[in-house]
């Protein structure tokens, strides 16, 4: 079959070639900002305009009293399998009395609520916030509900929170992370700690690939944040 002097197969190859050219052009445009960011970061590092402050880990070996109250937000939907170990570990290594952990659950997720209550072992630093909507909605919606609960606590007690930490239901915290965040807030309004994705020995392809992408993504974010020195200074390296 001929169309305009070309066979159908030839037309297909021509269209495919043009589409590949368009795709290559857009990929190139999308890489310009990342390449420029990498060049800017490298220049600042070489000229000494960006420095990484080092913290002696021995100074954070034992938990200390915080400069103010700290709230940890954990949105949870169908997290019964992981929320228990996360909370148990957090409460064991973050022993500060100024800590309040808000766990947002949904009224139609009794398994997660039961796991939360079983894991906290009556610890008064944990608040179980039950969303008035049936889940799932969105992570942002659950965080908004948690924020309202924190605001109500502030009004009731008359004591404001100095720090809000967002945390995922399946991640394990570093024992020194809370003290480090508390110290960093004397110099910055916003602090982000890198997260390590632990390799999964039974998932060499999927799990390890995810860990590599996670590490690359977090290193890119940290490089970008370091360029905004007016909002993040100093950057303190640690892991949580």
Q: What is the pLDDT of residues 31-41, one digit of tens each?
A: 888 888 888 88
pLDDT above 90 as % of the chain? 47
Q: Which residue has the tokens 């502030």?
A: 154
Compute the mean pLDDT over every residue in the chain, rounded to the nearest whole number.
Answer: 84
Which tens digits make up the pLDDT trace of 73-110?
A: 999 999 999 999 999 999 999 999 999 999 999 999 99
Q: Tell me the two tokens of residue 120.
A: 């906290």
> 7-25 pLDDT, tens per residue?
777 778 888 888 999 898 8
Alpha-carbon gap, residue 158 to 44, rounded angstroms: 44
**pTM exceeding 0.85:** no
φ/ψ of residue 164, rounded to 5: -120, 125
């Amino acid at each position: 079959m001929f169309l305009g002097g070309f066979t159908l197969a030839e037309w297909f190859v021509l269209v495919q070639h043009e589409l590949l050219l368009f795709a290559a052009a857009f990929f190139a445009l999308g890489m310009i900002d990342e390449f420029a960011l990498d060049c800017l970061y490298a220049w600042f590092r070489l000229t000494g305009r960006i420095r990484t402050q080092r913290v002696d880990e021995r100074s954070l070996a034992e938990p200390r009293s915080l400069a103010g109250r700290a709230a940890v937000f954990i949105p949870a939907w169908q997290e019964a399998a992981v929320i228990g170990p996360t909370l148990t570990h957090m409460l064991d290594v973050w022993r500060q009395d100024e800590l309040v952990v808000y766990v947002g659950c949904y009224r139609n997720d009794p398994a997660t609520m039961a796991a939360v209550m079983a894991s906290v072992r009556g610890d008064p630093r944990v608040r179980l916030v039950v969303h008035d909507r049936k889940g799932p909605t969105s992570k942002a919606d659950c965080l908004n509900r948690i924020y309202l609960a924190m605001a109500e606590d502030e009004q009731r007690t008359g004591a404001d929170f100095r720090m809000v930490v967002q945390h995922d239901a399946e991640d394990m915290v570093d024992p020194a992370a809370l003290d480090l965040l508390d110290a960093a807030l004397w110099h910055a309004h916003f602090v982000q700690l890198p997260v390590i994705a632990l390799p999964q020995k039974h998932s060499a392809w999927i799990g390890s690939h995810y860990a590599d992408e996670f590490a690359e993504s977090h290193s890119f974010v940290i490089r970008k944040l370091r360029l905004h020195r007016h909002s993040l200074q100093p950057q303190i390296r640690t892991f949580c």
